[in-house]
Amino acid sequence: MNTQTTSALSTIRAILKFPLIRIPLLGGILFVGMGISNGFMETYKDSTPTALGLVLLVVAMALAIYWAFVRFVENRPVSELSLSGLGDEFGPGLLLGFGLYSACILILVLLGYCRIEGLNPWTLMLPMVPMAISSAFLEELIHRGVLFRVTEEYLGSWIALIATSAFFGARHLGNPDATVTGAVFIAIEAGVLLAAAYMLTRRLWLSIGFHMSWNFTQAAIFSGTVSGIEMPPGLVKAVIEGPELLTGGKFGVEASIVAFLLCTATGVILLWRALRAGRVCPPMWSNRG
């Protein structure tokens, strides 16, 4: 490779690495992938194996595109997808998502705003598997892998946290039965918790595990609405009725004050641990030491 070609490639790489190019380019490609995945799930909603296979294919392609962009355009190891943290972080993320949502349901039961009327066949949980995988991997690649990471690189952790949490909440306003309260709550409780999970580990596995488990537990196990999107019945016949502030109303339990307090408190704990571990990044104009 001659000097002229090397110089041209370096120039192209520098342009693509610029944040106002990198975010819409890589984020846009992944967003299109999310739309394709959603289309497959809608088209093959009556054939779970087909939907699952196509979703896994889209997720694999999204991971490959993300890896290739980071490796060859950003010219660095793809540490946020390092397999060394998969075992230690993905599993705890799954447990955390299940535990927090189950705690929300338990509190609503104790308050008298949720009643359990029995169980449905366990097979009703299976159609929710593609949804949980698709939303967890693709949304985390977009929101934490691209938006948060690139913004943090230039503006620091705190500005990135505020900006990406606001965007995460605002994006849910486009969902059916979305409410402003629900969008604000999800921006804070989920935006903070998921970003803090990435800040603490500097990998995406903990946030992916939590995101997947929360959505699966919400829809497949407790038959809940996911961010304003009505889902088919799941395993548990859970009927939630009561004040919207406590139950989340049509948006789902994640728009309730119960989920807001539990998830935000968990996010603050993760933020505190990240701060203690020295994993909060200053903006590029400050002295990074």
Tell me the average pLDDT across 172-196.
87
Is 9 within a domain? no
Domain count, the chain: 1
Residue 105 has pLDDT above 50, yes or no: yes
Is 250 within a domain? yes
Is 137 within a domain? yes
Is 244 within a domain? yes
Specify the range with the lowest mean pLDDT, choosing from 82-86, 121-125, 227-231.
227-231
Question: 75 to each of 14, 192, 202, 264, how far by Cα in Å?
Answer: 10, 28, 18, 35
d(CA 51, CA 43): 8
- Given pLDDT bands bounded at 50, 70 and 90, which one contains residue 289? very low
Is 97 within a domain? yes
Residue 288 has pLDDT above 60, yes or no: no
Is 2 within a domain? no
- Given pLDDT bands bounded at 50, 70 and 90, which one contains residue 269? very high
Query: Which of these, 270, 268, 228, 235, lies nearest to 250 by C-alpha position?
Result: 228
- pLDDT tens digit string along 41-97? 999 999 999 999 999 999 999 999 999 999 999 989 999 999 988 989 999 999 999
Tell me the average pLDDT across 182-200.
93
Q: What is the structure's pLDDT at 20?
A: 84
Match 């996911």 to its residue by tokens: 226
Is 22 within a domain? no
d(CA 222, CA 235): 6
Is 75 within a domain? no
Q: Are 131 and 229 in contact (CB under 8 A)?
A: no
- pLDDT tens digit string along 22-35? 999 999 999 999 99
d(CA 281, CA 277): 11
> Which residue would you say has higher pLDDT here, 15 or 201?
201
Range of the domain at 146: 81-276
- Report the mean per-residue pLDDT for the chain: 92
